[in-house]
Structure 1
Amino acid sequence: MLVLSCGLIQTKVDPLTEKDRVKVLIFYDSLFSRARSIPIELLANVHDHTKNRYVRGFRMLTLGWSDGNTFFPLCFSLLGFNKKSNHYVEMNDSIDELPDTSAEKRRSRNLRKLCKLF
């Protein structure tokens, strides 16, 4: 996704914009609601600040590029909670995962605090 977005920005969007236009990177932390979903591993109780209540879901951290008129997502990550009392469904321990697999890396990233991601 990162390679595709960067290629589109460099070849298609950047030549169309003025050189003095400000370009920014945006980090956006939003709610990915899964209110009616089947039991998903690490599904958690997340506070929705717009409705001021808790819903089932994940936090989604998105990195995007913008020139003030156009927005391109560069990458994203679904984040959970390391507090087990917030989980609806725990990790499936019956799956034997090696520590170097992408699934195990995704699980450990899901349980990190937001400030420890960078």
Structure 2
Amino acid sequence: SDQRADCFVFDDSPYSRTGYKKTELAAKVFDHVSMTYKKGFRMMTMGWTDGSSFVPIASSLLSSKNDQNVIGTTKKINKRTIAAKRRIMARSKGTDVVIQLLDQALKAGLTAKYVMFDTWFSNPHQIVQISQRGLNVIAMVKKSSKITYEFEGKRMNVKQIFNACKKRRGRSRYLLSVPVKVGDPAKDGAQIDARIVCVRNR
């Protein structure tokens, strides 16, 4: 129905290659699960889901921006070709690739109410960019002292916001649920309303 909560989902996973020396743009990429470097690519995948079904929409093999980490072969290709654009995307930041894939999906006429991803992609600039495309974001926020949000007129990180609020005790599933403003107009070009929610582990 039109009321279903459908969303675009982004995630990446290691894509190892055994013959990496002969594979174009194969690189040493960091696996955040095993916390080790692997030889191959990161497979960025974009999908659509309504909670019951999952449909892959687009994907991109990501190499490395660092020339020292690229261990596969490289080729010189006319920059005006699609092949060259795919190679440029492979060496772009994962957060930039998310926006590129999202724009391609929207241009093709695909729709969803939300965009969902994990902490690796959730920074204020990314959230603001997606919101400017008319989509809401559901993401785990990073526990970083460098990433701040505007809460009650002050710039605070997630830990400071949590400590400043009275924790909900008892059996309540939500330990914290407060409105904040995401983004810095000077850096991100805009600021949007959002809500930080802390859920009890079960």
How high is the TM-score relative to the length of structure 1? 0.72
Q: Which string of whole-angstrom CA distances, capped at 9 and with x for unpartnered residues, describes residues 22-73 of structure 1?
A: 2111011222121x12521110001122222211111121110111111100
Other-structure match for 2:19: 37
**2:78 aligned to which of 94, 98, 105:** 98
**2:56 aligned to which of 52, 61, 73:** 73
Worse-matched range after superposition: 97-106 or 65-74: 97-106
Other-structure match for 2:142: none
In structure 2, give the amino acid aligned to 1:112.
S
Corresponding residue SS for 1:106: helix
Return 5+ residue gaps in structure 2 as ranges: 100-202
- Distance in structure 1 (CA, Å) of the matches to 2:93 and 2:4: 34
Q: Which string of whole-angstrom CA distances, capped at 9 and with x for unpartnered residues, describes residues 82-109 of structure 1?
A: 101111124134xxx2221121111111
In structure 1, give the amino acid aligned to 2:43.
M
Q: Which has the larger radius of gyration?
A: 2
Matched, 1:24 2:4: no
When the two chains are superposed, the root-mean-square deviation of aligned CA atoms in Å is: 1.7
The structure whose RCO (Cα within 8 Å, separation 6+) is larger is: 1
Other-structure match for 1:5: none
What percentage of residue pairs aligned between the two structures are identical?
35
Other-structure match for 1:113: 93
